[in-house]
Structure 1
Amino acid sequence: MSEAPAAPPTVSADPAAADGIALLVRAPEPRAGWRLLPARIAALCAVELQKLRHDRTELYTRAVQPALWLLIFGQTFTRIRAIPTGGTPYLDFMAPGIIAQSAMFIAIFYGIQIIWERDAGVLNKLLVTPTPRSALVTGKAFAAGVKSLIQALVVVVIAALLGVALTWNPLRLLGVAAAVVLGSAFFSCLSMTIAGIVLSRDRLMGIGQAITMPLFFGSNALYPVAVMPGWLQAVSKANPLSYQVDALRGLLLGTSTHLALDFGVLLLAAALGITAASSLLGRLAR
């Protein structure tokens, strides 16, 4: 007897199953060009933030210093009224500056991490992927910004408990978040730029420690620009930290400010920082 002809293969009526089978026989379509860079930046930022799940001690230990600034320095100088702040209590005046300072201290040593990745062989693997170097740097910069946001939240809570008259307007708080992220992006890129020049963790640590305090004291974080000597006023005007503090002070306290100028300088500084760090990233892999 002749065997009956085999039945033709059935095609699943389920569209999801059909799509899954199609992926087995043809490669997925690549992302469009305009979507590629944001997707890579978001992925690299998420990878950086995943590290916080394994070790949160950095966030806890870095909260100690801003707390001491507010509890000791801020309350002491509020009592002695040594610094003219135009009728604003000194603790209120100082709180936005401490937010900016704590964010900067997180970001300014970000280059040490990228040197560690170079030594561990991770950076070389990232550089041979199709991911643009600018996306790699931008992802790390905005991850530093998100870490700084967590730090800023701690400072805001401490300041509120101490009686600082902060705004809780959602739009203003979004502006605060944007200022913190942009400032942190610049300082992390500055750190990565220095890393691309010195190529050593020890040298970077020394330079980072040498520039953090001048950046902090050469800004309007602790005192108004009007009380500075002329040469320090010029330094303050060239210091991106001053514009970040000015934006935070205006948004959180409602004082007179120049938000358009402040955010314009922060955006320009972040863009220049990303460009500089991207151009020097290849030196770390040599």
Structure 2
Amino acid sequence: MTEHTTGTATAAVADAPTLATDPGLFTPAPGAAPMWRMVAAQAGMELRVMLRHGEQFLLTMVIPVLLLVGFSLTTVLDVGEGARVDALTPGILALAIMSTSFTGLAIGTGFERRYGVLKRLGATPLSRFGLLAAKTLAVLAVQAIQITVLGVVALLLGWAPTLSPLGVLAALALVLLGTAAFSSLALLMAGTLRAEATLAGANLVYVLLLGLGGVLFPTSSFPGPMEQAVSVLPITALASGLREVLSHGALPGAGAFLVLVVWTAVCGLLASRLFRWE
């Protein structure tokens, strides 16, 4: 019995890899995870943080719903001919997209930068591009919830959108480009200004674009020079494009896409160059 046990142990030791036969067995292999995995993990964390903040929930969900319901059921605001909810819903969707991808993102990122959260992220293998991509993915996830909730509320109010397969693709492209444009602008502001300045500036821009960006009514009611001036704003391009698709059943003009592409390219380039971790 003893000889059998000893022989088995000896054979196991002889068959086991050792440093002599496998030099890499105990050699450390440090290295960063693949970029897609880092971005996915960061996006998941960003989404959880965004959903836990009551202030952001108020800004992104409650205010758009209240505006949609309030102005659809009252005649305080002149929204033109046709059903009020049909005229209001595209602009409210654009406002919800802006509230998440610009205002909420800018304020949240600005205070993360102030409290040193971004400084610690800067010490990880996550690059500026990875951080921007993760925040954009989290914003898109929140927007999917927003669009679903607002769509259900609008349908309950009698919304009857005119949709076609090509129109759905056009609306999706507008939403993605609008998200990219607003996110780039938000991160440019949050990555270069102090947190207090970002807070004040983001709220000021939100109010100004709410009134001047064709959210609650078309910009065609503005005087000629003013209408031309606001047509280059991203919120105007997004709201007018969605209104063409959802209310009129027509494809938006190339100008709406061009405005959003230019804002995305310029702000994205500046954000990637000027964004500071602290």
Report the TM-score when normalising by structure 1: 0.76
Give the AA of the match of 1:96: P
Contact 1:167/1:252 (CA < 8 Å) preserved in 2?
A: yes
Q: Give the percent of matched residue pairs that are identical in Structure 1 and Structure 2.
A: 28
Within the candidate set 182, 188, 191, 1:193 is matched to 188
Aligned length, in residue pairs = 264
Q: Distance in 1 between matches of 2:262 and 2:228?
A: 19
Helix, strand or coil at the partner of 2:48: helix
Q: Distance in 2 between matches of 1:83 and 1:168?
A: 21
Helix, strand or coil at the partner of 2:10: coil
Q: After superposition, what is the alpha-carbon deviation per residue over 1:201-260, rounded to whole angstroms, capped at 9, x for unaligned?
A: 222221122211222222222222332112321222111112211332233334333255
Q: Distance in 2 between matches of 1:257 and 1:90?
A: 21
- Alignment of 1:95 with 2:60, yes or no, is no
Indicate the RMSD between aligned Cα atoms, in angstroms.
3.3
Contact 1:108/1:190 (CA < 8 Å) preserved in 2?
A: no
- Alignment of 1:121 with 2:116, yes or no, is yes
- Alignment of 1:245 with 2:249, yes or no, is no
Larger radius of gyration: 2
Within the candidate set 6, 10, 23, 1:6 is matched to 10
Contact 2:241/2:252 (CA < 8 Å) preserved in 1?
A: yes
Counterparts in 2 of 1:23 and 1:281: CA distance versus 1, 3 Å? farther
Q: Distance in 2 between matches of 1:47 and 1:131?
A: 14
- Alignment of 1:166 with 2:161, yes or no, is yes
- 1:112 corresponding residue in structure 2: 107
Matches within 5 A, 1:249-260: 249-258=243-252, 260=254
Report the TM-score when normalising by structure 2: 0.78
Q: Which runs of 5+ in 1 are unaligned?
A: 12-21
Contact 2:56/2:104 (CA < 8 Å) preserved in 1?
A: no
Give the AA of the match of 2:128: R
Helix, strand or coil at the partner of 1:109: helix
Counterparts in 2 of 1:249 and 1:58: CA distance versus 1, 3 Å? same
Q: Distance in 2 between matches of 1:70 and 1:258?
A: 23
- Alignment of 1:153 with 2:148, yes or no, is yes
Q: After superposition, what is the alpha-carbon deviation per residue over 1:158-205, rounded to whole angstroms, capped at 9, x for unaligned?
A: 110000102576775565444334323322332222223321x22222
Within the candidate set 212, 218, 222, 1:228 is matched to 222
- 2:213 corresponding residue in structure 1: 219
Q: Which runs of 5+ in 2 are unaligned?
A: 18-23
